[in-house]
């Protein structure tokens, strides 16, 4: 784990050094859990958005995109359940004055006991060697049995306390388990309080009164309230999807691990409206389709896994996360939820408007069911950076840091270098730049040795470096050097657009869709 955390540290400092991510308001010592994307970061982020948007909207005949406002009518959040139930249970340690999520303290305690069981199991395996039977050992070893009973009891009490919103029982559990604050080392805890995660602000009205409105905590509700507008104006028939990319805001208490958990972040969400009764089939389809999207990035299927939710939210009849093997371990990257007709029914009830869909074939009206795919753009960004970051020893005894970003996502697709600043080479290099920059983001560089220029481009993940030399002036050929293999090839300038188009075009990533399209 120490090594993995090292990678996170390295990725954070590399991101800053090379203009990917900066701490927000850094000159004022920053604002916690808020980050800005720099010159290369914003390019990478835009490319990830393009990959998602094209895979979801352009590659599906029956999915369209919208861009709804961040501010919405306050009743939207009452109907969706966010005003009453979008809470974290918080507890403070009176000595350290540190605040914790009560559920996280308890879950970490369970994980600690599980760790002790695993230690016992490992000891047993060492002692009995090839004869070791883990199932038998877990079922009979008194230490393991005692600890497992503790976990089962704790889980049962947690289930009761959380499902009944019993804050006193949650606190009792923390006290009974003798959970201590990691900072003060004491168990001097306050009461548990519910803390709503939405940011509220005042909207001044003409009459001088004001109303609390919220910064949206998810983009999904902007889709739900527009579903009939889109269905009618787009003459959409079920099943159809509405996609959206946009900012979401949550007043996260435990905001840490760089851009993994922020208070202002971006979501890419799609609500797929379907006939009631078909939700199982579409839920499986979207699980497979979304996993295929992740795998198309080429970081290895071992780095992704599904995590099915056992305890379902009140609106869902099935839900899972796609987890990615981040430097901090496997963590949620995307959620896929079968949301039933909960949201549309709630908006129908609270708005008093008829939100039913008319099915001309069946000649009947009903409220559609919904499958949602919801992914955090910043988390994909972190996954791409962490999986691409490589420190490599080279054959000549030197080393390099290279970002092996999938070429269609790379911030800069080609860097163009004149070998020297004289003899007309810069003019020729700019000519090539002009040829390519209509289709690709390119960078012109003439400072330092070619070797140093290669290293700088490796560090930002540029797939191709093109060098213009004296031979170029004679026969219109250049050397093109590929980032990962570092192989160089002499090619004619006229071939460059096609060569680049094939390697860095989004089509290369999008082709996967054909295998799961419906
Ligand atoms: N509409 C459903 C919804 O919002 P969610 O599981 O709360 O579901 C979806 O969020 C995704 O948004 C998560 O899988 C994660 O990638 C991203 N996300 C959620 N909270 C985040 C935060 N504080 N910082 C960055 N990304 C976050």
pLDDT at 111: 85
Task: Pick the last residue of a domain from 125, 152, 178.
Answer: 178
CA of 380 to the centre of ligand 1 (A): 11
Q: Is the CB of 333 under 6 A from ligand 1?
A: yes
Task: Pick the last residue of a domain from 152, 178, 204.
Answer: 178
What's the burial of 275, exposed, middle or buried (CB within 10 Å: 0-12/13-18/19+)? middle
pLDDT at 208: 57
Say how many CA atoms lie within 13 Å of 164 toward its Cβ: 11
Is the bond preceding residue 432 a cis peptide, omega within 30 degrees? Answer: no
User: Which residue's CA is minimally distant from atom 24 of ligand 1?
Assistant: 261
CB contact set of 499 (below 8 Å; sequence gap of 6+): 480, 491
Q: Which of 374, 380, 381, 383 to mutate to test the pocket of ligand 1 (most atoms within 8 A of CB)?
A: 374
Q: Is the CB of 335 under 6 A from ligand 1?
A: yes
* Inter-residue contact 231 to 285 (CB < 8 Å): no
pLDDT at 2: 45
Give 505's DSSP letter.
Answer: S
CB contact set of 389 (below 8 Å; sequence gap of 6+): 7, 10, 11, 14, 401, 403
Residue 336 in domain:
no
Kindly report whether the global pTM for this prediction surpasses the value 0.85.
Answer: yes
Listed residue (293, 290, 343) closest to 316, CA to CA: 343
CA of 199 to the centre of ligand 1 (A): 15
Q: Is the CB of 334 under 6 A from ligand 1?
A: yes
For strand 414-418 and strand 464-468, is the pairing parallel, antiparallel, or unpaired? Answer: parallel
Task: Pick the last residue of a domain from 178, 206, 224.
Answer: 178
User: Which residue's CA is minimally distant from atom 9 of ligand 1?
Assistant: 374
Residue 372 in domain:
no
Residue 475 in domain:
yes
pLDDT at 211: 81
Residue 378 in domain:
no
Say how many CA atoms lie within 13 Å of 181 toward its Cβ: 18
CB contact set of 298 (below 8 Å; sequence gap of 6+): 406
Residue 126 in domain:
yes
What range does the domain containing 409 cover?
403-509
Residue 502 in domain:
yes
pLDDT at 354: 96
Residue 418 in domain:
yes
Length of the chain: 518
Which parts of the chain register pLDDT below 50? 1-2
* Inter-residue contact 465 to 414 (CB < 8 Å): yes
CA of 267 to the centre of ligand 1 (A): 7
Number of domain units in the chain? 2
pLDDT at 174: 96
User: Which residue's CA is minimally distant from atom 12 of ligand 1?
Assistant: 376
Residue 262 in domain:
no
Rounded to 10°, the helix 142-163/167-176 angle is 160
Task: Kindly give the number of the ligand 1 atom that is closest to the alpha carbon of 321.
Answer: 14
* Inter-residue contact 478 to 505 (CB < 8 Å): no
pLDDT at 4: 62
What is the 3-state secondary structure of 322-378?
A: EEEEECCEEEEEEEEEEEECHHHHHHHHHHCCCCCEEECCCCEEECCEEEEEEEEHH
Alpha-helix runs per DSSP H in 27-81: 39-53, 74-79
């Amino acid at each position: 784990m120490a090594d993995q955390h090292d990678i996170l540290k390295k990725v954070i400092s590399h991101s800053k050094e090379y203009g990917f991510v900066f701490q927000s308001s850094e000159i004022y010592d920053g604002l916690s859990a808020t980050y800005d994307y720099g010159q290369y970061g914003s390019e990478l982020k835009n490319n990830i958005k393009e990959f998602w948007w094209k895979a979801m909207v352009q590659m599906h005949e029956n999915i369209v995109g919208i861009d709804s406002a961040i501010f919405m009518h306050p009743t939207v959040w009452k109907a969706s359940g966010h005003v009453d139930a979008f809470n974290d249970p918080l507890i403070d340690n009176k000595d350290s004055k540190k605040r914790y999520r009560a559920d996280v303290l308890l879950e970490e305690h369970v994980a600690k006991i599980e760790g002790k069981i695993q230690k016992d199991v490992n000891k047993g395996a060492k002692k009995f060697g090839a004869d070791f039977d883990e199932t038998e050992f877990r079922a009979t070893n008194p230490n393991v049995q005692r600890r497992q009973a503790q976990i089962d009891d704790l889980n049962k009490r947690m289930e009761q306390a959380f499902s009944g919103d019993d804050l006193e029982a949650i606190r009792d559990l923390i006290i009974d388990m003798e959970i201590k604050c990691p900072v003060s080392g004491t168990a001097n805890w306050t009461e548990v309080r519910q803390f709503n995660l939405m940011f509220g602000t005042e909207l001044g009205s003409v009459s001088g009164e004001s109303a609390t409105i919220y910064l949206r905590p998810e983009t999904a509700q902007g889709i739900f309230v527009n579903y009939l507008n889109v269905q009618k104006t787009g003459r959409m028939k079920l099943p159809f999807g509405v996609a959206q990319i946009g900012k979401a805001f949550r007043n996260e208490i435990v905001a840490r691990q760089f851009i993994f958990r922020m208070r202002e972040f971006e979501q890419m969400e799609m609500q797929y409206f379907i006939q009631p009764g078909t939700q199982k089939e579409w839920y499986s389809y979207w699980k497979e389709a979304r996993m295929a999207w992740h795998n198309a990035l080429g970081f290895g299927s071992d780095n992704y896994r599904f995590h099915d939710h056992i305890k379902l939210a009140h609106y869902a009849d099935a839900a899972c996360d796609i987890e990615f093997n981040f430097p901090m371990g496997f963590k949620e990257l995307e959620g896929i939820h079968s949301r039933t007709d909960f949201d549309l029914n709630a908006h129908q009830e609270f708005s008093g408007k008829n939100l039913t869909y008319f099915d001309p074939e069946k000649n009947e009206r009903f409220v559609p069911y919904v499958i949602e795919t919801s992914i955090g753009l910043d988390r994909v960004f972190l996954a791409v950076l962490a999986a691409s970051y490589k420190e490599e020893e080279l054959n000549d005894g030197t080393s390099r840091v290279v970002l092996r970003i999938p070429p269609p996502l790379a911030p800069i697709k080609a860097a163009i270098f004149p070998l020297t600043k004289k003899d007309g080479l810069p003019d020729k290099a700019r000519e090539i730049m002009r040829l390519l920059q209509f289709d690709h983001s390119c960078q012109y560089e003439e400072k330092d040795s070619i070797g140093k220029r290669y290293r700088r481009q490796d560090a930002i993940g540029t797939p191709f470096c093109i060098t213009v030399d004296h031979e170029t002036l004679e026969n219109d050929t250049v050397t093109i050097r590929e980032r990962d293999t570092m192989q160089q090839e002499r090619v004619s300038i006229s071939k460059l657009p096609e060569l680049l188009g094939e390697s860095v075009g989004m089509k290369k990533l999008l082709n996967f869709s054909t295998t799961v399209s419906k």
